[in-house]
Amino acid sequence: MSKAFTKEDDTEVEFEDEAADLPGGVTNYMTPEGLQRLRDEFRHLQQDERPKIVETVAWAAGNGDRSENGDYIYGKRRLREIDRRMRFLLKRIESAEVVDPKKQKDKSHVFFGATVTYVHGEGDEKTVRIVGIDEARTEFGEISWISPVARALLKAEEGDEVEVRTPKGIDRLEVVKIAY
């Protein structure tokens, strides 16, 4: 059968690396724990995930017709996703500038890596940790150092009141506690 009549597409769809570039002029600060998480994810993809998918694709390719072979088609797609993520992680790991908050000498001000408790203008108390762009996890109270809240809190002391611009307007935050 002529290749013109098959559904298989020989062209590889090349995906752009997810958020590969940092915002202009921004240093990729990272805590030691955040860098280790990225390294662990890279190692997991490289040593566990990718070899399993390669094995599946090789097996599926040996089954003949690839045009309607779901294992082959989805395996190839997953390989591209894994490879893209690995390239992204490698770029971020290489560009990381590690800042250890435990070595912070001035513990009276908010700096990168600090855990800050503040009171929102409405009386709600919230605790956040200021971390790198790639390690921010809001579900754990970690926010990126370039976020509006973190930028407002940086260099503040306990008792300081700072303003943060939000879509709703300007909020006032009072720094209650700083820990490293």
Going by C-alpha positions, the residue among 152, 126, 124, 151 that lies closest to residue 140 is 126
Rg from Cα positions in the chain: 23
Q: Which CATH number fits domain 101-179: 3.40.50.620, 3.90.180.10, 3.10.50.30, 3.40.47.10?
A: 3.10.50.30
Q: Which fold has domain 19-98?
A: Helix Hairpins (1.10.287)
Instruction: Read off the pLDDT of residues 44-62 as tens digits, 9 standing for 90 and up.
Output: 999 999 999 999 999 999 8
Within this chain, domains 19-98 and 101-179 share the same CATH topology: no
Looking at every residue in the chain, the average pLDDT score rounds to 89
- Write down the pLDDT at residue 66: 83
Q: Where are the domains of the chain?
A: 19-98, 101-179
Token pair recorded at residue 60: 């599926």
Instruction: Read off the pLDDT of residues 82-139 as tens digits, 9 standing for 90 and up.
Output: 999 999 999 999 999 999 999 999 999 999 999 999 998 778 999 999 999 999 999 9
Whole-prediction pTM: 0.81
Q: Is 28 helix (H, G, I), strand (E, B) or coil?
A: coil
- How many CA atoms lie within 13 Å of 17's alpha carbon, on the beta-carbon side? 13
